[in-house]
Amino acid sequence: MGFPARLAIPDNVVRIAQKLETAGYETWCVGGAIRDNLLGLENHDFDLTTAAPPEEVRRLFKRTVPVGIEHGTVAVLDRDNRAHEVTTFRRDIRTDGRHAVVEFGVSLTDDLARRDFTINAIAYHPIRHEWRDPFKGAADLARKLIRSVGDANWRFQEDYLRILRALRFSARFDFRIHGGTLEAAKANVQGLSQLSAERVREEWFKGIRTAGRVSKLLTLWIDVGAARIWLPEIGGKRDEGRGKSPVDNLPRDPVLITSFLAGDPASLLTRLKASNKDIERGRVIGQWRDKYPDPKHLPAVRRWLSELGEYADDLLALPSSPVPLSRVVSSIRAAKDPLTLKDLAVTGDDLIAAGVRPGPEVGETLARLLGEVLEDPTRNTRELLLARV
Q: What is the DSSP string of 278-330?
A: HHHHHHHHHHHTT----TT-HHHHHHHHHHHGGGHHHHHHSTTS-TTHHHHHH
User: Which residue among 289, 310, 330 closes a domain?
Assistant: 289
- Do both 134 and 155 map to the same domain? no
What element of type H or E holds 124?
A: strand 123-124
Q: How far apart are the first and last CA of the chain?
A: 78
User: Which residue among 143, 159, 177 closes a domain?
Assistant: 143
- Do both 33 and 52 map to the same domain? yes
- Do both 131 and 48 map to the same domain? yes
Q: What is the 3-state secondary structure of 226-242?
A: HHHHHCHHHCCCCCCCC
Tell me the three state secondary structure of residue 259.
helix
Q: CA–CA separation, 64 vs 56, rounded Å?
A: 11
- Do both 80 and 188 map to the same domain? no
| Residue stretches of the chain with pLDDT short of 50 | 240-241
- Do both 91 and 224 map to the same domain? no
- Do both 123 and 40 map to the same domain? yes
- Do both 234 and 328 map to the same domain? no
- Structurally, how many domains does the chain consist of? 3
- Do both 282 and 310 map to the same domain? no
Q: Residue 76's domain is classified under what CATH number? A: 3.30.460.10
Element counts in the chain: helices (H) and strands (E): 20, 11
**Distances 31 to 36, 48, 368, 382 between C-alpha atoms, Å:** 9, 8, 60, 64
List the domain range (segments joined by +) for residue 18. Answer: 1-143
Contact status, residue 151 vs residue 189, Cβ threshold 8 Å: no
Residue 99 has a pLDDT of: 58
User: Which residue among 143, 169, 201 closes a domain?
Assistant: 143
- Do both 302 and 277 map to the same domain? no
Instruction: State the DSSP code for 163.
Output: H
Q: CA–CA separation, 205 vs 142, rounded Å?
A: 27
Task: Say which residues have a Cβ less than 8 Å from residue 276's Cβ, sequence separation at least 6.
Answer: none
Crossing angle for the helix pair 161-173 and 179-187, to the nearest 10 degrees: 140
Q: Residue 240's domain is classified under what CATH number? A: 1.10.3090.10
- Do both 274 and 358 map to the same domain? no
What element of type H or E holds 29?
A: strand 27-30
Contact status, residue 358 vs residue 322, Cβ threshold 8 Å: no
- Do both 135 and 4 map to the same domain? yes
pTM for this predicted structure: 0.89
- Do both 133 and 2 map to the same domain? yes
Q: CA–CA separation, 350 vs 354, rounded Å?
A: 6
Residue 94 has a pLDDT of: 58
